[in-house]
Chains A and B, each alone.
Chain A
Amino acid sequence: MAYQFDFAYIIANGPALLQGLAMTVLVSVLSIALSVIVGVVGAAVRVFRVPVLSQAFAFYVDFIRNTPLLAQIFFIFYGLPSIGMGLSIFWSGVVALTAWGGAYNVENMRGGFLAVSKGMREAALSLGLRPLLYLWLVAIPLGLRVAIPAMLNTSVSVLKNSSYLQAIGFGELTFVAMERVAMDFRTLEMFASIGLLYLGLVLLLSFLARRLEHRLQSPFRTA
């Protein structure tokens, strides 16, 4: 018996899927942006060996990278309310994904900072610039240029990992699919659809990152 792939079913569920897609995009964009900030700050703290904070970030990175993301999400959503730090489903998701992506971005950006030559720092300081201005005007733009490919990988993972948030009932793309499947058992149509939607999102993200990289590289192309 041939399976009848039901396109009409997908179209009928289009609005729900689009709403899930919008939630996925929202939570991912926010988490990616915040995790880049966490990464840059954390890497700067690590590279410049800021006492206490540097050790704190090292511990944070190890902790996140060596525990499962799903456990982290449950800890934030179910665990934190016990100590009065309960967050909504949405913000629990943002915090979990930011913490996860941020840990990887600390390492990505640390590599970027280490690739900036010592001479750049000496040149900036010898002009009488404050260390923080060196960081902002020289080290971050030069370091990002090196770190962007790795950060893109992390960002793609953050986007894909947003599907774990269905486990705490966040209405993103995977959650919508699971909900529909539970009612209609149209598993193939549903999961094929969200697969294609995720693929489209990742390709779009890669395209945007390549554009950014191109822009940051432009001064170097003639070198």
Chain B
Amino acid sequence: MAEDPLIRVRGLVKSFQGVRALDGVDFEVARGEVVVVIGQSGSGKSTLIRCLNGLVEPDDGEILVGGTAVDTHSQREWRLLRQRIGMVFQDYSLFPHLTVLRNITLAPIRTGRASPAEAEALARELLARVLLPEKADAYPGELSGGQQQRVAIARALAMRPEVMLFDEPTSALDPETIQEVLDLMRSLARDGMTMVIVSHEMGFAREVADRVVFIDRGRVVETGPPVAIFRDAREERTRAFLAKIL
């Protein structure tokens, strides 16, 4: 019997003031898989990824993590799940009053995952991994956007998540720093991290994704390996979107 997908979503519906952002989305992510979600602004892709860690509460539908249904109304349940699901935001959202090191050690210490010494050792290891070992004592405001985003990724990794969600991680960056963040994400993918990435970086999607999901008007229009989507999309809407963006 095949292993349960790490995340499975069925019939997800979410409306904001009468507008359907998600209109019955089915979606799944296998362990170790890299899924890139593409689609126009307002297509529902950010809403989808935010539903996956409970930042948005769906109106209807099911979310299963590791085969277990999530009570999407229970903040307590989400809080525990979020310790297994890392999230990286478009605007990095580092805590500006804390040093880089404290940004990374905060959650592992405060959720009881690690002692302060363990958390600091792990944080320094992760800072080396994101190529910022010398920035431990810097404040976020002293870093470039790309560096801040790499710290944000390290902060999420410090909880040793089973899956990482990326909500347009390079959209707020200068062109010259986008690459350093994408390189880091590439190396995470190589190491087998399960990743769901909302992105406009089509080159990156083509190269790194195991599967691409195209969303339009709150529905999954088409999903498949990058080659299939980028070269031979079956759906007219997918082809129209790609023609515009590529």
Interface residues of A (CB under 8 A from B): 117, 119-120, 122-131, 133, 137-138, 141-142, 145, 216, 219-223
Contacts and interface: CB of A to CB of B under 8 A. Distances in A.
Interface residues of B, number: 32
Interface in B50-64: 53-55
B110 A129 contact: yes
A221 B140 CA distance: 11
Given A130-B79, A137-B106, A137-B110, A119 B89 contact: yes
29 contacts: A120-B93, A120-B95, A123-B89, A123-B94, A126-B55, A126-B86, A127-B82, A127-B107, A127-B111, A127-B159, A128-B80, A128-B82, A128-B159, A129-B107, A133-B110, A137-B110, A142-B95, A219-B96, A219-B97, A219-B139, A219-B140, A219-B141, A220-B96, A220-B141, A221-B141, A222-B142, A223-B96, A223-B141, A223-B142
A128 B141 contact: no
B156 interface: yes
B159 A141 contact: no
A68 to B, nearest CB: 39
What is the interface of chain A mostly: helix, strand, loop, or mixed?
A: helix
Interface string B136-172: 0001111000000000000110010000000000000
Contact of B95 (A125, A130, A138): A138
Contacts of A223: 96, 139-142
B159 A123 contact: no
A145 B79 CA distance: 28
B194 interface: no
B91 interface: yes
B93 A119 contact: yes
A130 B76 CA distance: 9
Nearest to A219: B139
A127 B96 contact: no
B98 interface: yes
A218 to B, nearest CB: 8
Contacts of A122: 55, 87, 89, 93
B106 A222 contact: no
Contacts of A128: 79-80, 82-83, 107, 111, 159
Interface string B95-122: 1111100000011001100000000000
Contacts of A220: 96-97, 139, 141
A182 to B, nearest CB: 52
A145 B96 CA distance: 12
Contacts of B142: 222-223
A119 B99 CA distance: 18
Contacts of A119: 89, 91, 93
B82 A126 contact: yes
A216 B82 contact: no
B162 to A, nearest CB: 13
A81 B53 CA distance: 54
